[in-house]
Amino acid sequence: MGRCFSISPVLLFLLFTFSPPYALSLPIHEQGNEQHPDNNVQSIDMDPVETETLFKIMETMSSDRNWRVSNPHPCKPGSSWPGIECKTGEHNRLYVSRLDFGTPPNPTCKATATFPSEIFDLPYLQSVFFFHCFYHTRTTISLPQHSISTSSLQQLSLRSNPALVGPIPPQLSALKSLQVLTLTQNHLVGGIPEEIFTLTSLIHLDLSYNFLTGTIPNLLGSLKNIEGLDLSYNLLTGPIPDRIGQLGLLQKLDLSSNLLTGGIPDSIENLNFLVFLALSNNRLTGKFPEGLAKLESLEYFIMDDNPMFVPLPHELGRLVKLQELRLANSGYSGNIPQSFSQLLNLSTLSLQNNRLIGEIPVGLTGLSHIYHLNLSRNKLSGVVPFDPLFLKRLGRNLDLSGNPGLCLDKSEAYVRENIGLNVCGSNRSDSLVQPLKAEASSEFCISIYLLDVLCLWALYQLLL
């Protein structure tokens, strides 16, 4: 399918193979496999029905051992299974509250493992994690025939399972206690079920790195408690819903690497707690929202590779908490706004491969935290305003190449010899002449020395 701009993988940190650039205040933490056994657990038995259900799950998932023989009492203190947590529940019995599969010391998954729908029959199970479990035998997220509305599940995570295929079942919406739903780096297809957005307890929703299609449902505005929403690296089309502005607690929004069209909705100005915004590698166009400057908490704004073709808005300079601003490969025109000099917390500014003109704002020299600056492949002109200390500090992290109208002051020409620019008042052949001449002189001296040695050797042979 055609696209004005090439799609390149981004961070990503963005995105979700790594931890986000800020900490979500979630009551349940997906990262880490530390066990936190209940200090009040007594040496009491499990419900026999739950014990049998647990054995079936383990036999479906893992062949590390014969679980029935080696650990007949899964929750018994002192002999509990790895990757399992238990707590005391009804009738003073022990119940499974957490299961982890895929990474040692937790049980590893066998090649024939398939998704165990029995997990929804564990009434006290709150968290379950499947990491790189379904990689050989194709399987789907299957649910039992009976209702799962009695489930206590708060966190469901299926990550890096290339054989996990099929659609996201809308029946997951029956998990009314669910706070974290992570279905990333799988092979899920189809649309995002609207029913998912009725899970009003959700704090974090990650459906990234799948093959999901269709539009983003308007019902996403119902997720009043959502703090992190990641739908990146799918095949989603259509506009960003205007109801995105109703997610008043949202801290992270990643919609990058899809096929989204239209503009950034004006309602985005209502996201007062937004820290991370990634919209890169889409087909977004048009002007920025007038209320963009109201995103006072924004620290990361990543919007490379969109056919915007508008001037850079000066309002971006009012986002004083920005640490990364990436707007490359998007056809931006006009001057670099002087207001960018007010972004004193900025560490990365990427504006390469646009249509920017005019001089580089002198105020950018005062950005003391910046370590990566790319203004290459534009139509900038004039004298580079950066002093020798600035040029030396950034080193190879500064790229100004591909701007024929830019030139270096003579006093700075030797600080950054490979900057790719002419010295002001010189043609290209003269711009970095002295270092090249020095190299040539050195080679010439070596040649003369070798010639002298050969002459002495020849003279020595004649004298013999």
Q: What is the mean pLDDT of each run of 10 residues along the chain (464 residues)?
A: 41 39 37 41 71 92 83 77 86 90 91 95 95 96 86 96 97 95 98 96 98 97 97 98 97 98 97 98 95 96 97 96 98 97 98 98 96 97 92 92 91 62 66 32 37 43 40
Query: What is the sign, positive or negative, of the torsion defined by CA atoms of 217, 221, 225, 229?
Result: positive
Judge whether 9 lies within some domain: no
**How far are the Cα atoms of 119, 338, 391 from residue 383, in angstroms, in the given order?**
66, 16, 14
Residue 33: the pLDDT is 38
pLDDT at 187: 98
Is 277 among the domain residues? yes
pLDDT at 165: 98
Number of domains in the chain: 1
Q: Compute the residue count for the chain.
A: 464
Residue 454 lies inside a defined structural domain of this protein: no
- pLDDT attached to residue 381: 96
* Rounded-to-integer distance, Cα 7 and Cα 12, Å: 14
- What is the C-alpha to C-alpha distance for residues 116 and 59, in angstroms, rounded to an integer? 10
CATH number at residue 310: 3.80.10.10
Chain-centroid distance of CA 197 in Å reads 22
Q: In the 3-class helix/strand/coil scheme, how is the chain assigned residue by residue?
A: CCCCCCCCCCCCCCCCCCCCCCCCCCCCCCCCCCCCCCCCCCCCCECHHHHHHHHHHHHHHCCCCCHHHHCCCCCCCCCCCCCEEEEECHHHCEEEEEEEECCCCCCCCCCCCCCCHHHHHCCCCCEEEEECCCCCCCECCCCCCCCCCCCCCCEEEEECCCCEEECCCHHHHHCCCCCEEECCCCEEEECCCHHHHHCCCCCEEECCCCEECCECCHHHHHCCCCCEEECCCCCCEECCCHHHHHCCCCCEEECCCCEEEECCCHHHHHCCCCCEEECCCCEECCCCCHHHHHCCCCCEEECCCCCCCCECCHHHHHCCCCCEEECCCCCCEEECCHHHHHCCCCCEEECCCCEEEECCCHHHHHCCCCCEEECCCCEEEEECCCCHHHHHHHHHHEECCCCCEEEECHHHCCCCCCCCCEECCCCHHHHCHHHHHHHHHHHHHHHHHHHHHHHHHHHHHHHC
| Distance of alpha carbon 175 from alpha carbon 177, whole angstroms | 6
Closest CA to 208 of 158, 172, 144, 138: 158
- Distance CA(218)–CA(229), nearest Å, equals 14
At 414 the pLDDT is: 62
- Has residue 303 been placed in a domain? yes
Supply the pLDDT for residue 1. 44
Domain of residue 210: give its range.
Answer: 97-423
pLDDT at 415: 53
Identify whether 230 is part of a domain.
Answer: yes
CA nearest neighbour of 254 among 285, 199, 209: 209
> What is the structure's pLDDT at 224?
95
Q: Tell me the whole-structure pTM to 2 decimals.
A: 0.82
pLDDT of residue 262: 97
405 forms bridges with which residues in the sheet? 381
Instruction: At 433, give phi and psi (nearest 5°).
Output: -70, -45
List pLDDT tens digits, range 112-159: 999 999 999 999 999 999 999 999 999 999 998 787 888 899 999 999
Q: What is the pLDDT of residue 417?
A: 56
The answer to whether the beta carbons of residues 134 and 109 sit under 8 Å apart is: yes
Q: What pLDDT does 131 receive?
A: 96
**Contact between 382 and 406 (Cβ < 8 Å):** yes
What pLDDT was estimated at residue 413? 64
- Rounded Cα–Cα distance for residues 230 and 10 (Å): 14
Residues 342, 319 contacting (CB under 8 angstroms): no
368 is a domain residue: yes
Residue 37: inside a domain: no
87 in a domain, yes or no?
no
Tell me how far CA of residue 373 lies from CA of 315, 367, 380, 391, 442, in angstroms.
Answer: 20, 11, 14, 11, 34
Residue 436 phi/psi, 5° resolution?
-70, -40
Structure tokens at 164: 């996990």
Measured CA angle at 277 (ends 274, 278), to 5 deg = 165
Report the DSSP pairing between strands 204-206 and 187-190: unpaired
